[in-house]
């Protein structure tokens, strides 16, 4: 009984409310699930121990955001971030507080709900971080590739290989953020689900209060959606309460999606703006990859040219070796132990040497002409 249930340890969160006030709270996983009405699999996306691709999920009462270093839960009243010493997380908190404070002092005509302002800061932080990494990669890549074209060495090739690995990993991350934004823009239902302030005001309206009375028991008991202790409640009662809660949430989700689809232009414009930014970053990385591919093609052409020159040199050397071998054959023949009248002629050595040289040169020229005729080497 003294052991804690697995996955329910306290975690430190940074809470920023709609007024820009921030505080650090410690909440366990189960309390956070009940507080934001989220399943455990959504909270797993925010766990720093796991590596998940960038994701933006719209739920009934919250938006789950996992964009690079920014991992947070956005509700209609607050933003909850995992407490971290990462500079980008602290910058997100400071920027969100600044915008909320500015909006409170000088309201803007193009007012956005709280959840969209928090989502905008998260998108801006992620896009800025990825764009800065792409810019750093460009600054490092172009001089290195130019140096490689002028001097092909093992060290430069290894540096380019590491550079290309970083480029592929960064491109994959940028592509995932772009696909996530594009997927949201293509689904009106998902965008309508993210209007948390509108859904909250609708649920707090008098009409909703009258409709929710039907979920109360005849003896004035607790509502079906009220928090139920998982320890003290009997299993059957807990199962019935859970079914009623799921039915209510589905009903409200369908109503909010139908009404929110008609007015999703502001969210669509917000997503479209950052889609253009992340698409521009992806174009930078694509151009850099094309430049690397062109450099690799140029290096391969250079290496092929050197390889062809070595083959031509080897062919000439083999032909010359064959011609020299003729002298060895002649020397071997005349070195045999037999007597002929030619050995008694004093000028025979010169004639044999001259005839052998002429024959060797003739054979060598014949081979070179054959190579030129068959276009085996540019002579």
Summarised one tens digit per residue, pLDDT across range 219-232 is 444 333 333 333 34
pLDDT tens per residue across span 31-62: 999 999 899 888 888 887 788 889 999 998 99
* pLDDT attached to residue 306: 87
Question: Between residues 319 and 175, which one has the greater pLDDT?
Answer: 175
% of the chain residues with pLDDT over 70: 80
What 3-state DSSP class applies to 374? coil
- What pTM does this model have? 0.71
Q: Are 249 and 60 in contact (CB under 8 A)?
A: yes
- Interior CA angle at 154 toward 153 and 155, to 5°? 90
* Spatial strand order in the sheet of 10-17: 22-28, 10-17, 78-82, 70-74, 63-67, 55-58
The pairing of strands 55-58 and 22-28 is: unpaired
120: number of Cβ within 10 Å: 19
pLDDT at 364 over 80: yes
pLDDT of residue 232: 40
For residue 204, the Cα-to-chain-centroid distance in whole angstroms is 41
pLDDT at residue number 324: 87
**Are the C-beta atoms of 233 and 242 separated by less than 8 Å?**
no
What value does the mean pLDDT take over residues 274-286?
A: 95
Q: CA separation (Å) from 350 to 229, 322, 346?
A: 117, 22, 9
* Res. 217: pLDDT tops 50: no
**Tokens standing for residue 121:** 């800061």
Res 204 pLDDT > 70: yes
Q: Phi, psi at residue 188, to the nearest 5°?
A: -65, -35
Write 37-46 long-range contacts (CB < 8 A, 24+): 37/61, 37/62, 37/249, 38/62, 38/64, 38/73, 40/7, 45/71, 46/71, 46/72, 46/73, 46/82
Q: Which of 107 and 323 is assigned the larger pLDDT? A: 323
- Supply the mean pLDDT for the chain: 81
Q: What percent of the chain has a predicted confidence (pLDDT) above 90?
A: 36
Closest among 197, 208, 207, 245 to 223, alpha carbons compared: 245
Q: What is the pLDDT of residue 281?
A: 95
Q: Which of 176-180, 213-217, 348-352 has the lowest mean pLDDT?
A: 213-217
pLDDT at 131 over 90: yes
Q: Please check the confidence at residue 5 and state whether its pLDDT lies above 50.
A: no
Segment 310-327 shows an average pLDDT of 88
Res 10: pLDDT: 84
pLDDT tens per residue across span 234-272: 444 444 454 545 545 444 545 444 444 446 888 999 999
- Where does the pLDDT of residue 289 fall: very low under 50, low under 70, confident under 90, or very high at 90 and above? very high
Beta strands in the chain (DSSP E): 10-17, 22-28, 55-58, 63-67, 70-74, 78-82
């Amino acid at each position: 009984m003294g052991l804690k249930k697995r996955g329910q340890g306290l975690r430190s969160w940074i809470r920023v409310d709609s007024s820009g006030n921030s505080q650090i709270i410690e909440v366990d996983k189960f309390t956070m699930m009940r507080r934001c009405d989220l399943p455990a699999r959504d909270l797993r996306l925010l766990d720093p121990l796991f590596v998940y691709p960038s994701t933006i999920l719209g739920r009934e009462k919250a938006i789950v955001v996992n964009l690079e270093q920014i991992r947070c839960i956005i509700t209609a009243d607050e933003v909850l971030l995992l407490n971290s010493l990462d500079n980008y997380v602290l910058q997100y908190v400071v920027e969100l507080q600044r915008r909320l404070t500015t909006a409170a002092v000088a309201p803007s005509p193009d007012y956005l709900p709280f959840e969209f302002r928090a989502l905008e800061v998260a998108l801006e932080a992620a896009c800025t971080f990825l764009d800065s990494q792409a810019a750093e990669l460009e600054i490092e890549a172009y001089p290195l590739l130019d140096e490689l074209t002028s001097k092909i060495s093992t060290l430069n090739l290894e540096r380019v290989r590491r550079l290309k690995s970083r480029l592929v990993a960064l491109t994959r991350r940028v592509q995932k953020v772009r696909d996530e934004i594009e997927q949201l823009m293509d689904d009106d239902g998902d965008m309508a689900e993210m209007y948390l302030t509108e859904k909250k005001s609708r649920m707090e309206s008098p009409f909703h209060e009258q409709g929710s009375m039907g979920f109360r028991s005849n003896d004035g008991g607790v509502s079906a959606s009220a928090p139920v202790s998982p320890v003290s409640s009997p299993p059957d009662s807990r199962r019935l309460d859970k079914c009623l809660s799921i039915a209510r949430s589905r009903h409200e989700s369908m109503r909010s999606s139908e009404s929110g689809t008609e007015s999703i232009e502001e969210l669509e414009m917000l997503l479209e703006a950052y889609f253009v930014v992340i698409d521009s970053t992806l174009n930078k990385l694509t151009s850099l990859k094309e430049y690397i591919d062109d450099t690799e093609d140029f290096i391969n052409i250079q290496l092929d040219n050197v390889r062809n020159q070595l083959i031509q040199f080897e062919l000439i050397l083999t032909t010359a070796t064959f011609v020299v071998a003729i002298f060895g054959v002649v020397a071997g023949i005349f070195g045999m132990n037999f007597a002929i009248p030619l050995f008694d002629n004093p000028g025979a050595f010169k004639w044999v040497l001259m005839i052998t040289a002429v024959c060797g040169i003739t054979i060598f020229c014949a081979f070179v002409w054959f190579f030129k005729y068959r276009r085996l080497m540019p002579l």
